[in-house]
Amino acid sequence: MRSKSHARLNRQFDKIQRRAPGFAAGWLERVRRPEARWIRIPLGFLLVLGGIFSFLPVLGLWMLPLGLLLLALDLVFLQGPVNHAIVRGTRKWSTWRRARRDKKAQTGN
Protein backbone atom coordinates (compact mmCIF):
# COMPACT_ATOMS: atom_id res chain seq x y z
CA MET A 1 0.00 0.00 0.00
CA ARG A 2 1.37 3.38 -0.98
CA SER A 3 1.19 6.25 1.47
CA LYS A 4 -0.26 9.70 0.89
CA SER A 5 3.21 11.21 0.98
CA HIS A 6 4.39 8.81 -1.74
CA ALA A 7 1.44 9.77 -3.96
CA ARG A 8 2.10 13.44 -3.28
CA LEU A 9 5.77 13.03 -4.09
CA ASN A 10 4.86 11.36 -7.39
CA ARG A 11 2.55 14.27 -8.23
CA GLN A 12 5.40 16.70 -7.50
CA PHE A 13 7.73 14.68 -9.72
CA ASP A 14 5.10 14.70 -12.48
CA LYS A 15 4.90 18.48 -12.23
CA ILE A 16 8.69 18.81 -12.37
CA GLN A 17 8.83 16.41 -15.30
CA ARG A 18 6.26 18.43 -17.28
CA ARG A 19 8.28 21.62 -16.79
CA ALA A 20 11.67 20.09 -17.56
CA PRO A 21 13.24 20.18 -21.03
CA GLY A 22 12.82 17.05 -23.18
CA PHE A 23 16.14 15.35 -22.39
CA ALA A 24 15.77 15.97 -18.64
CA ALA A 25 12.15 14.80 -18.62
CA GLY A 26 13.12 11.57 -20.38
CA TRP A 27 16.00 10.97 -17.97
CA LEU A 28 13.73 11.64 -15.00
CA GLU A 29 11.12 9.21 -16.30
CA ARG A 30 13.72 6.44 -16.67
CA VAL A 31 15.16 7.04 -13.21
CA ARG A 32 11.69 7.00 -11.59
CA ARG A 33 10.92 3.48 -12.80
CA PRO A 34 10.87 0.87 -10.01
CA GLU A 35 13.59 -1.22 -11.66
CA ALA A 36 15.95 1.79 -11.62
CA ARG A 37 16.19 1.63 -7.82
CA TRP A 38 19.74 0.29 -7.98
CA ILE A 39 20.78 3.34 -9.98
CA ARG A 40 18.63 5.87 -8.14
CA ILE A 41 19.85 5.21 -4.58
CA PRO A 42 23.63 5.44 -5.26
CA LEU A 43 23.06 8.41 -7.56
CA GLY A 44 21.02 10.13 -4.83
CA PHE A 45 23.76 9.56 -2.25
CA LEU A 46 26.42 10.85 -4.66
CA LEU A 47 24.39 13.97 -5.39
CA VAL A 48 23.83 14.65 -1.68
CA LEU A 49 27.55 14.17 -1.03
CA GLY A 50 28.36 16.49 -3.93
CA GLY A 51 25.95 19.08 -2.54
CA ILE A 52 27.61 18.93 0.86
CA PHE A 53 30.97 19.64 -0.77
CA SER A 54 29.54 22.44 -2.92
CA PHE A 55 32.41 24.74 -1.99
CA LEU A 56 34.57 22.80 -4.44
CA PRO A 57 34.71 24.25 -7.98
CA VAL A 58 33.03 21.41 -9.89
CA LEU A 59 30.28 20.61 -7.43
CA GLY A 60 27.27 22.77 -6.66
CA LEU A 61 24.56 23.29 -4.11
CA TRP A 62 21.97 22.23 -6.71
CA MET A 63 23.09 18.63 -6.18
CA LEU A 64 21.75 18.44 -2.61
CA PRO A 65 18.01 18.91 -3.32
CA LEU A 66 18.18 16.73 -6.44
CA GLY A 67 19.82 13.93 -4.46
CA LEU A 68 17.23 14.22 -1.69
CA LEU A 69 14.44 14.07 -4.26
CA LEU A 70 15.82 10.88 -5.74
CA LEU A 71 16.36 9.30 -2.32
CA ALA A 72 12.84 10.23 -1.20
CA LEU A 73 11.40 7.91 -3.85
CA ASP A 74 12.81 4.93 -1.94
CA LEU A 75 13.33 6.12 1.63
CA VAL A 76 9.95 6.62 3.29
CA PHE A 77 11.24 8.81 6.14
CA LEU A 78 12.39 11.43 3.60
CA GLN A 79 9.09 11.66 1.73
CA GLY A 80 7.31 13.98 4.17
CA PRO A 81 10.13 16.51 4.57
CA VAL A 82 10.90 16.52 0.85
CA ASN A 83 7.22 17.02 -0.02
CA HIS A 84 7.03 19.88 2.45
CA ALA A 85 10.20 21.46 1.03
CA ILE A 86 8.92 21.20 -2.56
CA VAL A 87 5.56 22.77 -1.75
CA ARG A 88 7.10 25.50 0.39
CA GLY A 89 9.82 26.26 -2.17
CA THR A 90 7.27 26.44 -4.98
CA ARG A 91 5.15 28.88 -2.99
CA LYS A 92 8.16 31.06 -2.15
CA TRP A 93 9.26 31.05 -5.80
CA SER A 94 5.78 32.04 -6.99
CA THR A 95 5.55 34.82 -4.41
CA TRP A 96 8.97 36.14 -5.38
CA ARG A 97 8.18 36.07 -9.10
CA ARG A 98 4.82 37.78 -8.53
CA ALA A 99 6.43 40.53 -6.43
CA ARG A 100 9.12 41.02 -9.04
CA ARG A 101 6.55 41.23 -11.85
CA ASP A 102 4.43 43.70 -9.88
CA LYS A 103 7.45 45.86 -9.08
CA LYS A 104 8.45 45.86 -12.73
CA ALA A 105 4.90 46.86 -13.77
CA GLN A 106 4.90 49.78 -11.29
CA THR A 107 8.14 51.21 -12.61
CA GLY A 108 6.81 51.05 -16.17
CA ASN A 109 9.62 48.94 -17.69
Tell me the per-residue pLDDT of 70-93, one tens digit each, with 9 for 90 and over: 999 889 899 889 989 988 988 998
pTM: 0.76
Tell me the per-residue pLDDT of 7-58, one tens digit each, with 9 for 90 and over: 888 888 888 889 888 888 898 889 989 899 999 999 999 989 988 888 777 7
Amino acid at the residue 22: G
Distances (CA, A) of 40 to 9, 35, 44, 57, 107: 15, 9, 6, 24, 47
